[in-house]
Amino acid sequence: MAEEPPLARAARLADVAELAGVSPATASRVLNGGHRGVREGNRQRVLDAAKRLGYTANLAAQTVARGRGRGVTLVAKGMPDDYANPVTAGVVSAAQRRGLPFTLISAGTEPADLVEAVNMARGNRPELLVLAGGRMADDATIPDLVDALQRYEDEGGRVVLITQTGLPFDTVSYANHQGGRDMATTLVDLGYRNFAVISGLKHGLTQRERTDGFIEGLAASGITLPADRVLIGQFDRDAAYAMTGELLRRPIEVDAIFAVNDAMALGVLTFLRDRGGTAPRIAVAGFDDIKALRDVTPALTTVHLPWESAADEALRMGLGPRSPEPQVSVIEGHVVVRESTPPLR
């Protein structure tokens, strides 16, 4: 029986340096992104040699040598199952533009799941850990989360949060309250007077900020929103579908519904469509301006958030020099009026 040929050995850094006619230190600088002090001719010879040999960096060895891997790990809490998460898409694009490796860890929906996911990310030892997802006002695991993130920074990593402010780390936050207020003002200017809000979990900070801003905006226009017109439930499309049915069974007049995210707004629109001629004509508005809205009829009025700008800001913070105190950057959105809220006057 003929012997099988031996497996080909993967090209090493020394092989690239020898073929390019440079020192291993020069080859290392070029292949690890540190081109400073390397002549252009040498840089190009190293790249050509690496391509010819099929060289790929040993990321595990780099991590051991440096004590920290290159790249970005995103821990996203409660990944949605019905629409692409725009925060995740934004961070992926921002990492790709910088040529950084990207890893995604999806945490579950329970608060303790987030702490577990952060500890898993610590084991991977990435250069930058971005944590995305809303927080709950009654989250008893916050001290454990802060401890895990602080340990990660003490070990040499960087942490940036894309969420509400209030934790002792660099944070990119959205102007949720102002967005809700602006939506209320816009709908009143369009002639609407009888409102309802499809909100999310009672203790969710994102939905609370957006709902409170909307109520405040109505109050500034002289309109009071009774508590029974704010429906509380899960923060997703199916819950909004059910809550819309509950709302329309009540003996109250409603001419406009504000849903505190676009996935929920699509649940409202779907319920109204399914009811057909038996449902009253009701305007619907959302919040986020997710990409799925491009395929929705009628086009949804919403608060546009610049997701990629927020992701770029998070990476700018995390890859830049440390500040003595945590930085906070608040990203503002703006209302986009579309067909789902036709003017009444």
How many Å separate Cα 139 from the centre of its chain? 20
Burial of 253 (0-12, 13-18, 19+ CB in 10 A): exposed
Residues 197 and 189: their CA atoms lie apart, in Å, by 18
Q: Which CATH superfamily is domain 176-306 in?
A: Response regulator (3.40.50.2300)
pLDDT higher at 32 or 223? 223
pLDDT higher at 345 or 73? 73
Residues 250 and 244: their CA atoms lie apart, in Å, by 10
Residues 262 and 265: their CA atoms lie apart, in Å, by 5
Query: Are the CB atoms for 68 and 60 separated by under 8 Å?
Result: no
Q: Does the pLDDT of residue 60 top 50, yes or no?
A: no
pLDDT higher at 331 or 104? 331
Cα–Cα nearest to 157, from 123, 199, 128? 128
Confidence band, pLDDT 50/70/90 cuts, at residue 306? very high
Tally of CB atoms within 10 A around 192: 24
Assigned fold of 72-174+307-332? Rossmann fold (3.40.50)
pLDDT higher at 124 or 114? 114
Residues 259 and 29: their CA atoms lie apart, in Å, by 52
Confidence band, pLDDT 50/70/90 cuts, at residue 146? very high
Instruction: Locate CATH 3.40.50.2300 in the chain.
Output: 72-174+307-332, 176-306
Q: Does the pLDDT of residue 2 top 90, yes or no?
A: no
Burial of 279 (0-12, 13-18, 19+ CB in 10 A): middle
The sign one gets for the Cα dihedral 41, 42, 43, 49 is: positive
